[in-house]
Amino acid sequence: MSELRLLALYPEQMNIYADRGNVLFLQHRCEWRGIGFAYSAAGMGEGFDPAEHDLVYIGGGQDRDQRMVAADLIATKRDALEAAVAGGVPGLAVCGGYQLLGTSYELGEERIEGLGIAPLHTVREPGPRLIGNVSIEVDLGSGRRVLAGFENHGGRTYIDAGGQPLGRVIHGFGNNGGDGLEGIVRENLIGTYLHGPLLPKNAWLADELIARAIERREGERPALEPLDDELEDAAHADAERAAERG
Ligand code: GLN
């Protein structure tokens, strides 16, 4: 039987809008299919072995939370994370966690150093927070799909040379409200501003992460058993409509 070993980074600090719900959703979709699910967490001061995890998750956080974890993230987890990403381990980083993948997050005079494992940087520019419902179109290799969700960030993120965005904004702000891009992709690592119940609203992305995680571990992409997604499909349609309304 397949098994998915998920590692959550700083689940205590990086969990704004209950981003942790994404982990529960992954767990349920595995268990409903008879796929084993093992959860572990790495918090302050804790390192991890990249060979022991199939999927890495980090949620969002306020500036205060990000300040608290940023230096620890670099000191205790950067090398393992880089090795995991370079080795094709799938990852999902949301909002504040997404920003920390980049080189830096600048807030006026202050500069929070990031991991530098994805080519992007974030700045606080004058202007309002970018808040609202958002939909983006993405192509992760199996054709055009839509991700719909909610964003709330003060930071504006810019993709640096060689970086590949996750998608293009249909409705909403995305990375910075200006260039029409949203998120980042490096290998199987995905960073995005889409918050909260991102995966429950976009069940296809949860399954894509599960399939990639199992494929990397077992060498073959699994044919995931279809599930009854009536509620998930309704949640997705609702989130897309909300984004259209703006
Ligand atoms: N603190 C970051 C910002 O405001 C990220 C916010 C978040 O994770 N919602 O840009």
Q: Cβ(66) to ligand 1 under 6 A?
A: yes
Quote the CATH superfamily of domain 3-245: Class I glutamine amidotransferase (GATase) domain (3.40.50.880)
The whole-number pLDDT of residue 142 equals 87
Catalytic residue among 53, 121, 153, 195: 195
**Nearest ligand 1 atom to alpha carbon 122:** 10
Ligand 1 closest atom vs CA 65 = 1
Per-residue pLDDT, 173: 98
Q: Which residue(s) pair with 133 in the sheet?
A: 150
Does the Cβ of 96 fall within 6 Å of ligand 1?
Answer: yes
| Helical residues (DSSP H) of the chain, grouped into ranges | 21-31, 63-86, 96-99, 198-201, 203-218, 230-245
Structure tokens at 196: 């909260």
pLDDT tens for 8-20 read: 999 999 988 777 8
Q: Which of 15, 62, 101 to mutate to test the pocket of ligand 1 (most atoms within 8 A of CB)?
A: 62
Pocket residue to mutate for ligand 1, from 99, 107, 112, 156, most atoms within 8 A of Cβ: 99
How far, in Å, CA of 1 to CA of 15, rounded? 31
Q: What is the average per-residue pLDDT within 80-109?
A: 97
Mean pLDDT of the chain: 96
Tell whether ligand 1 has an atom less than 6 A from the beta carbon of residue 153. yes
Q: What integer pLDDT is reported at residue 246 of this predicted model? A: 81
Catalytic residue among 30, 95, 121, 236: 95
Is 195 assigned a catalytic role? yes
- Count CB atoms within 10 A of the CB of residue 241: 12
pTM of model > 0.95: yes
The reply to whether 28 belongs to the active site is: no
Question: Average pLDDT of 108-136?
Answer: 97
Which atom of ligand 1 lies closest to the CA of 59?
A: 8
Q: Which atom of ligand 1 is nearest to the CA of 66?
A: 1
- Would you tell me how many other CB atoms lie within 10 Å of the CB of residue 228? 8
> Ligand 1: does its nearest atom lie under 6 Å from the Cβ of 177?
no
Two structure tokens written together for 125: 């520019």
Domain ranges for the chain: 3-245
**pLDDT band, very low/low/confident/very high, at 1 (cuts 50, 70, 90):** low
pLDDT at 202: 97
Residues 6+ apart with CB under 8 A from 44: 10, 13, 69, 72
Tens digits of residue pLDDT in 156-178: 999 999 999 999 999 999 999 99
Distance from the CA of 230 to the center of ligand 1, in angstroms? 31
- Model pLDDT for residues 35-78, shown as the tens digit of each residue: 999 999 999 999 999 999 999 999 999 999 999 999 999 999 99
Compute the distance between CA of residue 113 and CA of residue 131 in angstroms, rounded to an integer.
Answer: 24
Tell whether ligand 1 has an atom less than 6 A from the beta carbon of residue 155. Answer: yes
Q: Which amino acid is at 61?
A: G
